[in-house]
Every structure is written in C-alpha cells, then in structure tokens.
C-alpha cells in the first residue's frame, strides 16, 4: 500500500504544478483549437479530396484488374476450346490421311499384282512360243535328216549295218 500512496502523492504534485501556470494551459488550449480550425477549414478538404481520389484510383485499378482477370479466364477457356477443336481436326486429318494411304497402298499392291500376272502371262506366252519354235526347228531338222537319209538310201543299195551307220552320220551332221 505504501507504493500506491507514494504514487498518488506524486501525481498530485505534478497536477498542482501544471495548474500553477493556468495561463499557459489556456494558451495551449487556444493554440490547439486554432490548429484544429486551420486544419479543418484549410487542409481538411484537400486531404480528404486527395484520399478520395486515391481511393477511387485504387478502386478503379481493382475493377480493371478484376475485369482483366475475367477476360483472361475467358480467353483461356476459348483457347482451350480452340486447342481441343484443332486437336480433334488434326486427329481426323491424320485418320483420313491414314485411310487414304491404306487405299493407295492397296491400289499399288493391286496394280503390282496385275503387272506381275501380266508379265508372268507374257513369259508363259514367250516360253510357249519358244517351245513351238524349237519344236518346229526339231521337226524341220528331222524332216531334213529323214529326207537326206532317204536320198542316200535310194542312191545306194545298202545293207542294214551300212544303213544304221549312214543314219548316225546324218544325225551327227545335222546336230553339229
């Protein structure tokens, strides 16, 4: 309690020292009122106008930022839609090109098969022609040999051994 008593006593001394010079207190109060009036009538409107303008500018920036954010979000959504559309179109084009390539492949294979068949048929015809020509040559040679043999046989009256020897000789001459 003693501490509290000392504190109260000290406060009373200080307050009495302030009120001893009451003129100073009046001047200070008067200066404070004048300062308040000067600030209120001369500076209050410019300060409040400045603060209001600043608040409006901040509000405008916030509104513009919000508007830009919404616009960017909308652009993002449109871009995503366009991307999906382009992606789908690319897949369709790829599929169409793949089908076209498959058709072209099948067409080329069919043409190649037809060409191979045509060539095989032509080779077969050529072989058959060669066989016919070879058969004709062989027949012609046989006829010539037989005619030559008949001529020689008729020219000479010969026996069986001589006849065989002559035929062998004629065949050898005709083949070589």
The pTM score is 0.39
Distances in whole angstroms, Cα of residue 92 to Cα of each of 82, 84, 168: 15, 12, 81
129, 158 contact by CB (below 8 A):
no
Distances in whole angstroms, Cα of residue 7 to Cα of each of 10, 12, 14, 101: 5, 9, 11, 105
174, 141 contact by CB (below 8 A):
yes
Per-residue pLDDT at 158: 59
Domains of the chain, residue spans: 2-175
Per-residue pLDDT at 175: 65
Per-residue pLDDT at 171: 74
| pLDDT over 70 (residue 19) | no
CA-angle at 82, arms to 81 and 87, nearest 5°: 100
Q: List, for residues 114-164, the tens digit of each pLDDT value.
A: 999 999 999 999 999 999 898 888 878 877 777 777 777 666 655 667 767
Per-residue pLDDT at 154: 66
Q: List, for residues 86-96, the tens digit of each pLDDT value.
A: 999 999 999 99
Compute the distance between CA of residue 165 and CA of residue 171 in angstroms, rounded to an integer.
10
């Amino acid at each position: 309690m003693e501490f509290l008593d000392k504190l109260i006593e000290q406060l009373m001394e200080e307050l009495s020292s302030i009120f001893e010079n009451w003129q100073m207190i009046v001047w200070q109060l008067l200066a404070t009122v004048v300062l308040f009036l000067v600030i209120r009538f001369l500076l209050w409107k410019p300060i409040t106008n400045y603060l209001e303008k600043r608040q409006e500018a901040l509000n405008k920036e916030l509104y513009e930022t919000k508007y830009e954010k919404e616009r960017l979000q909308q652009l993002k959504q449109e871009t995503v839609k366009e991307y999906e559309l382009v992606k789908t179109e690319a897949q369709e084009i790829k599929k169409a090109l793949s089908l076209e390539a498959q058709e072209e492949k099948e067409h080329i294979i069919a043409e190649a098969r037809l060409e191979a068949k045509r060539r095989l048929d032509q080779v077969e015809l050529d072989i058959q022609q060669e066989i016919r020509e070879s058969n004709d040559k062989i027949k012609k040679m046989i006829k010539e040999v037989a005619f030559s043999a008949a001529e020689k046989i008729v020219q000479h009256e010969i026996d069986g051994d001589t006849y065989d020897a002559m035929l062998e000789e004629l065949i050898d001459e005709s083949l070589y």
